[in-house]
Amino acid sequence: MRYGKYRFIASFLAVPLLLYIVFVISPYVQAFSISMTDWSGFSSDRNFIGLGNYAELMGDGRFWRAMSHNLQLLIVVPLVTLGIALFLASMTTLAGRRGSAGRGGVRGSRFYQVVFFFPHVVPLVIAGVLFGFFYNPQAGLLNGLLRVVGFDWLTRAWLGDTTFALPAVMAVLIWIYVGFYYVVFSAAMKSLPTDVFEAAVLDGAGRFRTFRSITLPMITDTLKTSYVYLGILMLDGFALLQVILPDGGPDGSTEVVAQYLYRAAFTDGRFGYASAIGVALCLVTLVLAVPFLRMGRRERVEY
């Protein structure tokens, strides 16, 4: 009977497992095998060169500079995005006129929810085009507003300045993703039990103390998962940067690894080397994600 049960379960798992192997595992294996060759991508000739591409990658200054840009995005964008989203979610979900245990947020919170989420509805490509005009040094809205309020000395070619190009792109990414994580945190806060907050009010805890001692610990898993997910996105960053600054920005100041991979494959015709870049990026993602998840492991809060 038990044998029949396991066979029945295996019959249901066989097809999904096969699809996972074909469409998920197989591409990774193929990418690694291509990275061990000098394949140009445009012919059937490919010579096995072992770890030659990886040896070249270790001494490739352009790759490491692109990786440093990804790491800057990884540190700044998630911290700022999640911080803003957490603040907005607490204001529109927990704060309000009914005390620390209230629900519904500040007055007009439903309108704010629509406004905050709207940027995430805009596709990345369209956002890149819009902000390309926004940062335009001559006819852009940003410099125009600075001139109107009398801050002419602050106007500059934002995307043409090696100092400000990457921060300008970070601002766009933050604008895009805040809305999504605002919704995630709002949902997490709405699922918290009201009686816990009522007990905190009876004990005399203020809003900040309630948020720090009750709300944050109870949504730690959501915060951790959000940071990992957004961090993985920042290790990519190809779509927006390729639209706003397809040439890697002034003096390569905004080029990320995904853009370097794209150029190595489709501009330089080095698919083998590009595959090695992709494998390296995948390993970096795993190295950063797995320890973070393990360090954040704690006892589950039951409520």
**At residue 106, does pLDDT exceed 80?**
no
Element (H, E) at 115: helix 109-121
Closest CA to 124 of 296, 243, 37, 215: 243
Ramachandran angles phi, psi of 2, nearest 5°: -65, -40
Q: Rounded mean pLDDT of the chain?
A: 85
Mean pLDDT, residues 168-172 taken together: 94
**pLDDT digits over 42-99, tens only?**
877 888 998 999 999 999 999 999 999 999 999 999 999 999 999 988 888 876 545 4
| Distance of alpha carbon 66 from alpha carbon 56, whole angstroms | 15
CATH number of 61-295: 1.10.3720.10
Write the DSSP string, 151-192. Answer: -GGG---GGG-TTTHHHHHHHHHHHHHHHHHHHHHHHHHHTS
Contact 35, 280 (CB under 8 A): no
Residue 76: predicted pLDDT: 95
Contact 77, 177 (CB under 8 A): yes
| Distance of alpha carbon 66 from alpha carbon 45, whole angstroms | 29
**At residue 206, does pLDDT exceed 80?**
no
**pLDDT digits over 230-241, tens only?**
998 998 888 899
In the chain, which segments carry CATH 1.10.3720.10?
61-295
* Residues counted in the chain: 303
Contact 31, 268 (CB under 8 A): no
Per-residue burial over 213-244, b = 16 or more CB atoms within 10 Å of its CB, e = otherwise: ebbeebbeebbbebbbebbebbbbbeebbbbb
Least confident of 46-60, 61-75, 101-115, 260-274: 101-115
- 191: which 2 tokens? 């699922």
CB within 8 Å of 234: residues ≥ 6 apart:
70, 73, 74, 77, 78, 173
Give the other-Cβ count within 10 Å of 257's Cβ: 26
Residue whose entry in the numeric block shows the structure tokens 């610990």: 217
